[in-house]
Structure 1
Amino acid sequence: MTTETETTTPSAAQVPRCPMSESAAAEPIRRVATPTGDPAWQVCGYHLVKDLFTDARLGRAHPTPATAPRSSYSVFFGSPLGNFETEPEDNARMRQLLNPFFSPRRMRELRPRVEKFTSRLLDDMAAAGGPADLHAALAVPLPLLVITELIGVPYSDREMVREWTAALFDKYDAAKSAQAGAEWFAYSKSLVEQQRRTPGGTGVLPSLCEVEGLSDDVIATLTLSLLLAGHETSVVEIGLGALALLQNPEQWELLVSRPELVPDTVDELLRLHKSTGFARYARTDFEVEGVPIAKGELLLLDVDSANHDPTVFTDPRSLNITRGEAQHLGFGYGPRYCLGAPLARVELEVVFEQLIARFPNLHLAVDPAELNFRTDVATNGVTELPVAW
């Protein structure tokens, strides 16, 4: 795993929101500068973004990674990933290895554990009495409990994992992100070495160590990636999802009265929230909507514009848990659809099922204007969520 050591400062503002999110008459592709000052093509609108998710002429790797344009200073999200020459084959093999751990059958088996963890955390919150910080009481610990058990790594190391996560997702401090990446990789490597010395146990890590021909470095990288992506999305979405519902009390009350709407509610919450763009590099020269794209150029697939495209979603910035319109693209689409999406859905469904059953009168304990949000990391999210009941 390679890392960067240069400390840098953002030379450009955040990439502006696609006009498509406000008007159907926007440019579908336009030239922008990323927060690192690098040139990129921003792709807007539901149908074009969805199509490009499945386009084999785009990938995460770059032919010359050291000189590639970056989407941010984050090591994990801001720079190319993988080997350009073998990327398609590597991605296919990785998914073949990991898909069984996120299959519908595996998620059904895991759900009772998620329910038990959630119930225990809510018991503790209720016993302590309100107001409570839902972010600290539930949103942070639950996904970590689940993903560490699924992978087979110590939950006792959760504080380190949270610190590394925040640093790796940092959009502005390249040195901080790189240092966290190096430390986390070394930690993951030590877990693999320990598993080699004392085989046994259950979870993704022990299973990967049994795969013939899979190097320790590859296993460590996969372990790191799963720990990172497997908990951070859920942490953010639990907090933002609860906030959105509590800011729309009529939707909260509807969900309390109709708990069968929980799966639809989860999809609507995932669609509603402002999503980060998906970075892709052109693997060859080609055209998008008549615009020539050169090999190696960076494209930002603007999922926020796709999920709020007014030509696809009615009143797209509003919360409507009975919407029933097109599939959101928050987890991507096609061959690179997020492996952990089934796990995130299970966690979110269980959370809202138990919240509405146990705390039907849940409400914010502060004015929404007083809430603080993370602006230094790619995933955003609340820093705390005071609630009462």
Structure 2
Amino acid sequence: MTAQLPFHAPEPLHTPPELRELRDSGVIHKVRTRVGDDAWLVTGYEEVRALLDDRRLGRSHPDPERAPRFGESALLGTPVGNHETEQADHAHMRRILQPLFSPRRMRALRPRIARLTADLLDDMEKSGSPADLNAALALPLPILVICELLGVPYADRDRFRAWSVAVGDVADAARSTDGLMQLYAYGRELVDHKRHSPGDDIISDLCATDGLGDAEIASLSMMLLFAGHETTVVQIGYGALCMLGTPGEWPALVADPSRVDAAVEEIMRAPIAGTGGMPRWAATDLEIAGVTVHAGELVLLDTFTANHDPAVFPDPERFDPERFDARRCGADRAPAQHLGFGYGARYCVGAPLARIELTEVFGQLAARFPHLRLAVPTSEIRFTRDQLTTAIVELPVAW
């Protein structure tokens, strides 16, 4: 019987039982997407890593109207882009964006990110225990950071946040499409404003780049606005839940702040979604682990499950930052590289920024709230449904 996405996850922080069975039985599996179309789910670490950088897979399709669909989201549900020029278009986009998100530029932002984090923690402390860590920190910090970086008014956060949530709807195509159109229209407004009143921000930099039209700038900017806050919101929430819900981890970080970098890497590896991963369409026939995939078929690169491959990450269900601590891995071997930021040509340009935000969040939280704890059992934590990113709705904490 063909497995049906999404997989039921009785324990949100652990691999769904059906997905674990698939993973343990091989590295590529025939599945049906949530809309009933056939797809290949790739779960092996080595295979997913190689295919993320394989030009034979892409986000486009020669006949998008007839292509198998991943879901109803206008962002990832169906093929996008020009099939003939996809590789060149992607390389062009990365050439534009990588200098804007260089590690050096991101490091220069660190003092500001640290200050924003401290201010939010001040407010949380003043409001008193218990608090919703999601509302107090996980949601506002990434939005504040991406707004300052792009030059987007923070006062507009409720508007673009609502559109972002709509875009990520994998069950309602009309809602997702409307959210994407609203977000794009907002991007055009921002570009028009920056053309007349430029500032020290990325949208202004894009406006000053030769050869970029308003439509392309608006599209790039809104992609950055969506991706630049949505995933970090999710990772802060999951990270806090993992750190506080795993016995001994929070006291260990409090006692040894140098553990924070390894903790951030484990936070990027450990969460499991079970929603299917990254959709790609085969541009040509290819073989994956002995299975022939034909041109036009849908291939789902499940980075979440690949990050739980026991051949690469022993005891993968265990949240263990020490697996990324080079001091503890030994001089003869480096820690394995997780796929939380992708790989190769598909490696996330915003990875340096996300790492800085997560490091500031958990470093400052441990210093300011050494006795932080979950205020409810993990079984009572609620998660969003029918979204591209399965986020925590509310995270009650006490100290």
Which TM-score applies when normalising by structure 1?
Answer: 0.94
| Residue number among 245, 248, 272 corresponding to 2:246 in the alignment | 248
Amino acid at match of 1:247: G
Change (3 A) 1:31 1:370: same
SS state at 2:216 partner: helix
Corresponding residue for 1:285? 285
Q: Which residue type is aligned with residue 239 of structure 1?
A: G
> Does the CA contact (< 8 Å) of 1:332 and 1:338 recur in 2?
yes
Q: Which amino acid aligns with 1:104?
A: P
Residue pairs, 1:337-348, within 5 angstroms? 337-348=347-358
The residue correspondences of 1:10-159 to structure 2 (distance < 5 A) are 13-14=5-6, 21=20, 25-159=24-158
What corresponds to 1:336 in structure 2? 346
- Over 3 Å counting, the alpha-carbon distance change for 1:368 and 1:289 in structure 2 is closer
Counterpart for residue 206 of structure 1? 204
Which amino acid in structure 2 is aligned with residue 83 of structure 1?
Answer: N
Local SS of the residue matching 1:323: helix
More displaced 10-residue stretch of structure 1: 356-365 or 199-208: 199-208
3-state SS of paired residue (2:200): coil
Q: In the TM superposition, what whole-angstrom CA distance separates every residue of 1:316-340 from its partner, at most 9, and x where no partner exists?
A: 0001111134111111111011111
Q: Secondary structure at the match of 1:190?
A: helix
Deviation string, structure 1 residues 350-376 (Cα, Å, up to 9, x no partner): 000100000000001122222211122
Letter in 2 for 1:333: Y
Letter in 1 for 2:6: Q
| Equivalent residue number for residue 367 of structure 2 | 357
Which structure 2 residues correspond to residues 208-227 of structure 1 after superposition, within 5 A? 208-227=206-225
Aligned to 2:331: none
AA of the residue aligned to 1:265: A
| Aligned match of 2:11 | none
Preserved CA contact (<8 Å) 2:23 2:43 = no
Give 1:20 deviation, angstroms: 7.5
Decide whether aligned partners of structure 1 residues 341 and 263 sit closer, same or farther in structure 2, where only a CA change above 3 A counts. same
- The one-letter code of the counterpart of 1:332 is G
Shift of 1:19: 6.6
RMSD: 1.6
1:310–1:21 distance in 2 versus 1, CA, 3 Å: farther
The reply on whether 1:385 has 2:395 as its aligned counterpart is: yes
Q: 1:330 to 1:204 in 2, by over 3 A?
A: same
> Percent of counterpart pairs with the same letter?
51
Cα deviation, residue 304, structure 1: 2.1
Indicate how the Cα distance of structure 1 residues 327 and 22 shifts in structure 2: closer, same or farther if over 3 A, else same: farther
Range with bigger deviation, 94-103 or 23-32: 23-32
What do residues 269-294 of structure 1 show as CA deviations (whole Å, max 9, x unaligned)? 11100145011111112222222222
Match of 2:162 in 1: 163
**Distance in 2 of aligned mates of 1:107 and 1:33:** 40
- Cα pair 1:21 1:308 within 8 Å, conserved: no
Letter in 2 for 1:47: E
Contact in 1 for aligned 2:31/2:38 (Cα 8 Å): yes
Structure 1 equivalent of residue 233 of structure 2: 235
Return the offset for 1:314. 1.3
**Counterpart Cα distance in 2 of 1:20 and 1:53:** 20
Q: Tell me what 2:13 maps to.
A: none
- The Cα offsets for residues 76-131 of structure 1, whole Å up to 9 and x where unpaired, read as 12121221111111111111111112111111101111101000000001011111
TM-score by length of 2: 0.91
Residue type of the partner of 1:326? Answer: A
> Following the alignment from structure 1 to structure 2, what is the Cα–Cα distance between the partners of residues 20 and 310?
14
Q: Which runs of 5+ in 2 are unaligned?
A: 9-15, 325-334
Evaluate the alpha carbon distance shift between residue 19 and residue 370 of structure 1 in structure 2; reply closer, same or farther with a 3 A threshold. closer
Give 3-state SS (helix, strand or coil) of 1:249's partner. coil
Deviation at 1:25, TM superposition (A): 4.7
Alpha-carbon separation, structure 1, partners of 2:267 and 2:381: 19
Contact residue 30 and residue 43 of structure 1 kept, 8 A? yes
What letter corresponds to residue 232 of structure 2 in structure 1?
A: S
